[in-house]
Amino acid sequence: MWILLVLTQNIAFAQSRSVTGKVVSQDGEGLPGVNILIVGTSSGTVSDAAGAYAIEVPEGYSKLKFSYIGYATEEVDISGRSRVDVMLIPDISELSEIVVIGYGEQKRETLTGSISQVKGRDIVKSPQPNVSSSLAGRFSGIIANNRAGEPGYDDSSYFIRGTATTGDKSVLVVIDGVPGQLGGLNRLNPNDIASISILKDASAAIYGSRAANGVILVTTKRGATGKPKIDYSFDLGLSSPTRLPDMADAPTYAAILNEIEYYNNPAGGLNQIYSEEEIRKFADGSDPLNYPNTDWAEATLKKAALQSRHNLSLTGGTDNVNYFVSLGALSQDGIYKKGITKFEQYSFRSNIDAVVTDHLDVSMGIAGRQEERQFPVYGAGDIFRSIYRAYPYVADVYPNGMYSGGIEGNNPVVMVTGIGGVDINPKQIFNGILKGRFKIPGVEGLSLDGFYAVDKSWNFTKKFAKPYVLHDYHPSDGTYTERLTGGSANRARLDESHNNQTLSTSNLKLNFERQLGAHHINSFVAIEQSKSHEENFNAWRLRYPTVETPELSQGGSAPEDKYNDGWSSTFTRRSYIGRVAYNFNEKYLAEVQMRIDGSSTFPRGNRYGYYPAVSAGWRLSEESWFQNVSFIDDLKIRASYGQLGNDAVPHFQYYNNYGFNSGYVIGGSAYPGINLIKLANEQITWEVAEKTDIGINALLFNGLSMEVIYFKQKRRDILETRNASIPNVTGIVNPYSAESLVPDENIGKVNNSGWEGTLGYKNAQGDFWYDVSGNITYAKSEVIFIDEAPSVLEHQKRTGRPIDTYLLYNVIGIFRSEDELDDYPHFAGAKPGDLIFEDYNKDGSLTADDMVRTEFSNLPQLTFGLNINVGWKNFDISALFAGQGRVRQYLLPESGTIGNFYSSWADNRWSPSNTNGSYPRVDTRASSSYSGGQYRNNFWLHDASFLRLKNLAIGYNVPESLISRWRISSLRFNLNAFNLFTLTKMKDFDPEGSHEGGHFYPQQRIANFGVNVQF
Amino acid sequence: MKTIKIFLYASLAGSLALSTGCDENFLDINATDRVSDASIVSDSTLFEGFVINRYMGIRLTEKEGEGTPPGFGRGFEYALWSSLTDESIYNNDDNTWVIQRGQLAPENLGIAGTLWGRSYRSIRECNYALKNIGAVVMSEARKNLLTAELKFIRAYRYHDLIRNYGEVVLLGDNVPNLGDDFLDPGFFQKSSIADAIEYVAGELDEAAAGLPLNNSSGWPLGRATKGAAMALKARLLLYAASPLYNAGSWVEAAQAAKDVMELGKYNLHGDYQSLFLDENSQEIIFERLYRVGTRHVCLEISNGPNGYGGWGGNTPLQNLVDAYEVVVDENTAVPFDWNNPDHVNNMYENRDPRFYSTILHNGAPYRGRQVETFIPGGADSRDGNDNWNTSKTGYYLRKFIDENLPIQNPWDVAGIQPWIYIRYGEVLLNYAEAQNEAAGPDETVYEAVNLIRDRAGMPDLPAGLTKEQMREAIRRERQVELAFEEHRFYDVRRWMIAMETENVPAYGIQIEKDGDTFTYTRKVAIDGRSFKEQHYWLPIPRSEIQSSNNQLQQNPKY
């Protein structure tokens, strides 16, 4: 009480004076919405539409700080001045950029952690509407791979500095302060994003138990004081696959079938199925009815699909209320010729900030999104599988216009259409945040803030599958027979599901920020808690009397025609958070933070984890003895260390779990039996990451910036399930592709270390300006402990190697002849034309002991990016190159009599007549053949390194003189592209793919035209 | 100083704010989709639910357990166990040819790698239930029933282990848990076959004593009965007495089978073909039932001829076709003979009726037309539709197939035939074999075999067979009567004739049509069929040997 009294007295005696002025840009135009802060306090104001401002400055304060996104922050001495006009210069150095950090903001020069930030204006340059696909290559430390390109399901997988866990690898996304906000990052409207920050080191520890894999912070745009500004943009794009495999044609495949039959029965010769005459007929197209030659990809896919985007936003504000309101619409078509695949998204966002009293600010953010997905009843994986499987010697459509049966009733040309029914999947997301900030009177720099956020999502699917008729042509008698397919039981079938999720998050935070002479303190303590809840409901109905009534109520009435199930889950968390950041003259920087996290995932006693972090920085360039080093404008060394956690494992693992499973029939019906699902681990608790980070930032020659970072992470107590070390005779046996019986245990240990480097240069000369920035990241993990069999062989161990490597036979060639076969060890059953596996242990025989663990996995150890921006007068061009190295992807296509071959294999196969082929002989089923899946080997392991032009954007701003009479303040035209070209050794597929059979909707190349107009 | 005070003040306010929100219950979440041990043991309904699901095992690899989890053995899967024998080959390989071609090895198990893990998991779970049943609130009578049932299930798992691996580890009543030392040598001590069978037979005696003779509303079909336990024991004792095992006596084996016969409960089903579609048949001693929603693979499409839209999965071999006798007249049947042009030119005439019930051949009536495997132009040959699915052997599976179930689009309709684990026909053959070995071909031997032949519509065995001739006759009878029922694989091993039967090429038939005449030529369906000495027993998976730190002894010669 005494302290309070003293403090209030201090304030009460303070005097103040008025300062006014105007903030302008280089060309003299007023800048609206510039933040103006009285240095040493937390009070300030914002410039109005014309750039003018007025502020009351208390006695004893003599500096104003002007900051504006995209411009260098200026600090101006106002001693003895009442009018202060300021010109802001576009930010070349980005040194004084304000960076969003966990629970706050910080100037880049006082940062002690490794944090990368990208602005929304860079993200909108990509025509790919999925935000996760706009991260790759932009800055060091992030590894993003676009695994597939289906509209609505084109998310990239992203990791920060690789991975250091065998458990859950997902990155925590925090949007406007809400950790794990429903709806996530990927489908945000890029036009709503102000900035994205990536917390790569211990600075993420402020997010505690979910931060071990790194944190991405997203802030959305807010209004600025000024007259209303309307911004409208329209984009129209064409997308097409980056690459598709060439498939064997009918004569080639017919010859292959003959070869397969020959290998199964050599006595029968090489024409057991098709004669040379028939193969000729496939080739010459003389008899398309009996000897077709179908290119299934061409039959199914169109050259390009349309996508379009509209975006409208309104920003502005008065002294008391600022607003940002936006509307967005997105539409993407599938690349199928007659397809019904479609993704549409509508979104709105309204961010309103209000000053209620001198002490109280309130803001409210509301965002909503409708994602409408429409698909045929077959998934993209099935459709592409059918395209690659379907035989080239089967017609897609007969000359009389009837669709063929394709491959076993799967005709991809028909599968993509609505003939077999429609699968709709609308999803709505609502995010609401109410924030308040209260400046506690009497204590300067002390404030209380908090927020309450509610997220909801509703995800509904309705899939109505209808039977339809395909036709089979019978060459023997020239007739067609019907092949009834689709639906279920020759009738229609309806599947419906609901998934509703709720997340509520509340936060109360007490802040203290103050400049005291040369000392600056910024600190807070907070409590946060959240509860997420999910409800699921599924039902299906069979045997619809008619296809005209696609409603759950209208299906068949027998008990076996109906089914329903559902489940729900709840997670709760509670956290206590604190941080003190201190700097002395912005020269010596230090920060201490701590989070105590409690999670409902773990049993009482093991619930709370402690996540401390410390960091420090030293700006050498601020030292007086440094001032004579003229070419260095800024030099900082910094280091951080902290502990972070990972708790992303299923609930209830601390006791034996039993669940109902009605699989066994007694009497006339399935009995509600019970299975043991999970054994108990009473000790289960977090996974802990210890992160160390050392960095140097420098700014040289007024334009050259560089950053070098060394990082190291030690992950321990990794939650993983034992499998290899528990013998099956104990009866503790994990099932295949289902929940593991063995619970997660805190046993794994992984180290991950590497470095990042960024080098940039910016320059402007007259009408011409450019900036170039390159970044490179090398991150390598090493497994220190992972569950392995006690007698695992040294060269097969996962321990000591990176995570997720492959265990494969080394291929050293192809057996060209019987003689070669006799000369080298091989497994029983090898024939000429099969791959030669290395006898790794040189014991003269091949066994599983000769398998070798690979050096690389499908997560690249090396990623790099190059960002070039060039402007001249009203033109600007930006190009983003992204690449990766030290990465491998296994891909063995599903081939044989089960389906067609890639041309790369078909044309280069070993065969009795082509013993120099570079691919092994063909076989009945690649997945179980000698050279294929039976002895998984590195012939099918591909180097997935690439360099690609991820993004290219060319813009033209129409000169103001031409448009001003239309009351248009800005008019801009864009041409931009995504994945424009790629250099890679991968032959058949996009190197970013991860499906080992290649069955996925291909990644897209997009060319886009856009126009943007502002009023 | 002031700074510190201010910060103190701030912290004070902070901790005040925190203390108000503290409510440890906020982090207590109760599961709503699972229960704990306490519920299982305290609620008799839940406990019984746990026991009943032990008839099923877990899925351990892909292409296994479609529809519902696997039961004992392999049962109805895409590739049947028969496709590891001279009964059939699986058209699309799917890791069966590796076994047909003699490449089976600890690191290369094909489809034969899952019985080890699945059986032990079930055994542990049975042990858990047996250990805790005492604490369950339940009548003593019901407890005794469930105890007997658990012992039966556990015994069946051991039966699966023994007949595949020979010497196995007996867990006793142990319920291993996560805290245990998994390198304890006790886990890897194999018992001799004799000891293991003695243990399992004893368990089956106890099960038989506790199980009811008949299914009833309180003990519905699908749950084991006294006869099931006794018949399983009879099978095990027959195995034990066989040359490969050499660990029992034919007399005991015969007696065990006779005990089942003397129950007087079971009879041969009137019609061989429909037996496999009738889950209520008097012949069935123990079976697994299926329903839509809890189905097995849809047999009609997975095994059907390509001309019907089927995938031609398990295609019978000529090797099996040749085993069906040719009926000369109502008292005489002779073996099929490739040197007899009458036989060859009339390949599908006058054969043992079970041939027609088991195998779809060229000309067989099926779904409104005749099967056409001939070339050129046969609808179910390589000249027909979907020819990638055509049979390499010239035959398709008929047994188990229900013509009332659709081939096309069967997913919510088919897959509902019962899988018969044990039927009376087998018990009769078990008796005949054991009795013939123990006492020679006496009247009871003839009687047992002829009951089977009568039902099939075959002439009785000729009188006056020697013991050896009778042995051959019984072996042939088992081959045709029990085809595709997971017997041949074990029979050729225990008789130790596999080195011959399994080293014969996998034959199919090529039928050329010229006008109205068919020419039949035997051809090799898949190259390289082979069987080696070590393959009498399955190899223990390499991963299992490794996780035992090489303490577990691999089967010989692998």
Quickly list DSSP for A539-555.
EEEEEES-TT--SGGGS
User: Does the beta-carbon distance from B52 to A925 stay under 8 Å?
Assistant: no
Contact B148, B209 (CB under 8 A): yes
Q: Please, what is the angle between helix B443-456 and helix B424-439, to 10°? A: 150
Encode burial over A412-451: b for 16+ CB neighbours within 10 A, e otherwise.
bbbbbbbbbbbbebebbbbbbbebbbbbbebbbbbbbbbb
Facing A663 at nearest CB: one of B5, B27, B294: B294
Q: Is the pLDDT of residue B311 over 50?
A: yes
Could you tell me if B405 lies within 8 Å of chain A, comparing CB atoms? Answer: no
Tokens in use for A877?
A: 């061009």
DSSP 8-state secondary structure symbol assigned to residue A914? B
Considering only alpha carbons, which residue of chain A is nearest residue B179?
Answer: A681
pLDDT bucket at B145, cuts 50 / 70 / 90 = very high
Residue A9, pLDDT score: 40
Burial of B220 (C-beta count, 10 Å sphere; 0-12/13-18/19+): middle
Rounded to a whole number, what is the distance in angstroms from the first to the last CA of chain B? Answer: 80
Which secondary structure element, helix H or strand E, spans residue A774, and what is its range?
A: strand A768-785
Considering only alpha carbons, which residue of chain B is nearest residue A483?
Answer: B408
Average pLDDT, chain A: 92
Mean pLDDT of B193-201: 98
Contact A97, A118 (CB under 8 A): no
User: Does the beta-carbon distance from A264 to B526 stay under 8 Å?
Assistant: yes
Contact B101, B529 (CB under 8 A): yes
- Strand, coil or helix: what is A338? coil
Residue B2, pLDDT score: 47
**Distance between CA atoms of residues A533 and A502, nearest Å:** 5
| pLDDT tens string A450-507 | 999 999 999 999 999 999 999 999 887 889 999 999 998 889 999 999 999 999 999 9
For B:279-338, CB contacts with A below 8 A are 288-294, 309, 311
- Report the percent of chain A where pLDDT is more than 90: 79
Could you tell me if B392 lies within 8 Å of chain A, comparing CB atoms? Answer: yes
Nearest in space to A238 (alpha carbons), one of A988, A977, A985: A977
User: Does the beta-carbon distance from A730 to B311 stay under 8 Å?
Assistant: no
> Which of the residues A271, A483, A504, A728 would you substitute to probe the B interface, choosing the one with the greatest number of B C-beta atoms within 10 Å?
A728
Considering only alpha carbons, which residue of chain B is nearest residue A656?
Answer: B36
- Least-confidence region, from A128-137, A806-815, B342-351: A128-137
**Distance between CA atoms of residues A892 and A332, nearest Å:** 31
Nearest in space to A27 (alpha carbons), one of A873, A968, A963: A873
pLDDT bucket at B450, cuts 50 / 70 / 90 = very high
Q: Is the pLDDT of residue A91 over 70?
A: no
Considering only alpha carbons, which residue of chain A is nearest residue B35?
Answer: A658
| pLDDT tens string A854-912 | 999 999 999 999 999 998 888 999 999 999 999 999 999 999 999 999 999 999 999 99
Q: Is the pLDDT of residue B391 over 80?
A: yes
Contact A1001, A301 (CB under 8 A): no
Residue A28, pLDDT score: 64
B379 neighbourhood in chain A, CB within 8 Å? 474, 476
| pLDDT tens string B96-114 | 999 999 999 999 999 999 9
The two counts, helices (H) then strands (E), for chain B are 20, 12
User: Does the beta-carbon distance from B97 to A828 stay under 8 Å?
Assistant: no
pLDDT bucket at A41, cuts 50 / 70 / 90 = confident
User: Does the beta-carbon distance from A658 to B26 stay under 8 Å?
Assistant: no
Contact A781, A717 (CB under 8 A): no
Q: How many CA atoms lie less than 13 Å away from B18 in the CB half-sphere?
A: 20
Tokens in use for A695?
A: 């960095």
Considering only alpha carbons, which residue of chain A is nearest residue B108?
Answer: A934
Mean pLDDT of A759-781: 91
Q: Is the pLDDT of residue B17 over 90?
A: no
Encode burial over B372-385: b for 16+ CB neighbours within 10 A, e otherwise.
bbbbeebbbbbbbb
Q: Is the pLDDT of residue B237 over 60?
A: yes
User: Does the beta-carbon distance from B101 to A829 stay under 8 Å?
Assistant: yes
User: Does the beta-carbon distance from B56 to A670 stay under 8 Å?
Assistant: no
Q: Is the pLDDT of residue B9 over 60?
A: no
| pLDDT tens string A441-450 | 989 999 999 9
Q: How many CA atoms lie less than 13 Å away from A601 in the CB half-sphere?
A: 21
Residue A61, pLDDT score: 85
- Least-confidence region, from A758-767, A948-957, B255-264: A758-767
Facing A3 at nearest CB: one of B9, B62, B289: B9
Facing B171 at nearest CB: one of A576, A731, A789: A731
> Which of the residues A536, A565, A730 would you substitute to probe the B interface, choosing the one with the greatest number of B C-beta atoms within 10 Å?
A730
Q: Is the pLDDT of residue A203 over 60?
A: yes
**Distance between CA atoms of residues A168 and A718, nearest Å:** 9
Residue A90, pLDDT score: 66
B528 neighbourhood in chain A, CB within 8 Å? 829
User: Does the beta-carbon distance from B49 to A656 stay under 8 Å?
Assistant: no
Facing A664 at nearest CB: one of B55, B118, B127: B55
Mean pLDDT of A425-451: 95
ipTM: 0.94
Tokens in use for A506?
A: 């509340």
> Which of the residues B96, B122, B386, B521 would you substitute to probe the A interface, choosing the one with the greatest number of A C-beta atoms within 10 Å?
B386
Q: Is the pLDDT of residue A8 over 50?
A: no
Tokens in use for A310?
A: 């509209």
Q: Is the pLDDT of residue A22 over 90?
A: no
Burial of B497 (C-beta count, 10 Å sphere; 0-12/13-18/19+): middle
Q: Please, what is the angle between helix B193-210 and helix B226-241, to 10°? A: 160
B550 neighbourhood in chain A, CB within 8 Å? 791
**Distance between CA atoms of residues B69 and B76, nearest Å:** 11
B36 neighbourhood in chain A, CB within 8 Å? 655-658
B523 neighbourhood in chain A, CB within 8 Å? 265, 267-268
**Distance between CA atoms of residues A1015 and A229, nearest Å:** 6
Backbone angles phi, psi at B418, to 5 degrees: -75, 145
3-state secondary structure A514-535: EEECCEEEEEEEEEEEEEEEEE
Considering only alpha carbons, which residue of chain A is nearest residue B126?
Answer: A731
- Least-confidence region, from A81-90, A290-299, A712-721, A966-975: A81-90
Q: Is the pLDDT of residue A63 over 90?
A: no
Rounded to a whole number, what is the distance in angstroms from the first to the last CA of chain A? Answer: 54
User: Does the beta-carbon distance from B411 to A489 stay under 8 Å?
Assistant: yes
Facing A652 at nearest CB: one of B34, B40, B379: B34
Q: Is the pLDDT of residue A959 over 90?
A: no
Q: Is the bond preceding A991 in cis, omega lying within 30 degrees of 0?
A: no
Contact A700, A633 (CB under 8 A): yes
Residue A21, pLDDT score: 87
- Report the percent of chain A where pLDDT is more than 70: 97
**Distance between CA atoms of residues A276 and A284, nearest Å:** 12
Facing A829 at nearest CB: one of B388, B528, B546: B528
A542 neighbourhood in chain B, CB within 8 Å? 412
**Distance between CA atoms of residues B154 and B132, nearest Å:** 15
Q: Please, what is the angle between helix A276-284 and helix A250-264, to 10°? A: 160
Residue B23, pLDDT score: 64
State how far the alpha carbon of A110 is from the alpha carbons of A92, A756, A931, B335, in Å. 18, 20, 58, 95
Residue A65, pLDDT score: 87
Backbone angles phi, psi at A1010, to 5 degrees: -140, 155
Mean pLDDT of B403-413: 92
Nearest Cα of chain B lies from the Cα of A74 at a distance, in angstroms, of 28
> Which of the residues B3, B286, B294 would you substitute to probe the A interface, choosing the one with the greatest number of A C-beta atoms within 10 Å?
B294
Q: Is the pLDDT of residue A703 over 90?
A: no
**Distance between CA atoms of residues A57 and A45, nearest Å:** 11
Nearest in space to A953 (alpha carbons), one of A979, A980, A982, A977: A977
User: Does the beta-carbon distance from B176 to A661 stay under 8 Å?
Assistant: no
Residues 6+ apart with CB under 8 A from B216: none
Nearest in space to A512 (alpha carbons), one of A600, A462, A578: A578
Mean pLDDT of A400-405: 94
pLDDT bucket at A767, cuts 50 / 70 / 90 = confident
User: Does the beta-carbon distance from B121 to A728 stay under 8 Å?
Assistant: yes
Facing B544 at nearest CB: one of A443, A680, A728: A728
Q: Which residues are paired to A947 by β-bridges?
A: A883, A983
Residue B24, pLDDT score: 66
B32 neighbourhood in chain A, CB within 8 Å? 567-569
Could you tell me if B512 lies within 8 Å of chain A, comparing CB atoms? Answer: no
Facing A490 at nearest CB: one of B52, B406, B552: B406
| pLDDT tens string A493-539 | 999 999 999 999 999 999 999 999 999 999 999 999 999 999 999 99
Encode burial over A139-177: b for 16+ CB neighbours within 10 A, e otherwise.
bbbbbbbbbbbbbbbbbbbbbbbbbbbbbbbbbbbbbbb
**Distance between CA atoms of residues B266 and B287, nearest Å:** 14
Considering only alpha carbons, which residue of chain A is nearest residue B127?
Answer: A731
Residue A16, pLDDT score: 80
Tokens in use for B309?
A: 């839209």
State how far the alpha carbon of A112 is from the alpha carbons of A100, A732, A1004, in Å. 13, 48, 39
Q: Is the pLDDT of residue B19 over 80?
A: no
